[in-house]
Structure 1
């Protein structure tokens, strides 16, 4: 599933990471097998950790002016994912509800409100 135009930032590595995340999310939404769903959930968390680490290294390297807010957002999103993953280990429906009803909106808002600022900054400073 290609990333929607409104979510493209025209920074290649960011668009690629977002596309990969979207593919994992799409696969999770269509997954009917609970063990496979949990594997994908774990994969999504690991992908997100790597994604955030990449962004955070660039924010440090280029002295991004709004780094702390971006870091706070990363911490919040990742903590939430881990919370729902842990709950889903006991009650799979809990995790599926998070994925099906909230995760994409959080992903979209993060790109539009937070990552877009970093992308604009990187285009001007790289």
Structure 2
């Protein structure tokens, strides 16, 4: 997965964060066994901050689907925590399998929940 203009939502703050996520997820897919733990930890922390920021944005524009979007964020953070524990036990294989699914999840999340949030933010700024 590499960054593409198809991922641009037109909200600079979100776009910059999403580009960083894509770059980290891409690096994770290419990581050596030695690099994997540090990169996964970096992706996990980035995602935590990313979701915190989106939570603030959702509140700022009174996003109607805030509950659903927030619950999706909690689900993903739970997965990341689970796979961090797997990684700590040396289960690199299962973490690599999870990482392969991130591009598909990201594309769907971006096209649905994040696109709706971006539209709400644009309406709120107008």
TM-score by length of 1: 0.91
Q: Structure 1: give runs of 5+ residues left out of the alignment.
A: none
- 2:61 matches 1:62: yes
Q: Give distance in 2, aligned partners of 1:66 and 1:120.
A: 12
Partner of 1:74: 73
How far residue 33 of structure 1 moved from its aligned partner, in angstroms, is 3.0
Q: Deviations over 1:8-41 (max 9, x none)?
A: 101111110010011111111111133x211110
Partner of 1:12: 12
Partner of 1:44: 43
Partner of 2:111: 112
Q: Give distance in 2, aligned partners of 1:121 and 1:43.
A: 29
How many residues are treated as equivalent by the alignment? 124
Where in structure 1 do 4 or more consecutive aligned residues deviate above 6 Å? none
TM-score by length of 2: 0.91
How far residue 88 of structure 1 moved from its aligned partner, in angstroms, is 2.1
How far residue 118 of structure 1 moved from its aligned partner, in angstroms, is 0.1
Q: Give distance in 2, aligned partners of 1:29 and 1:2.
A: 11
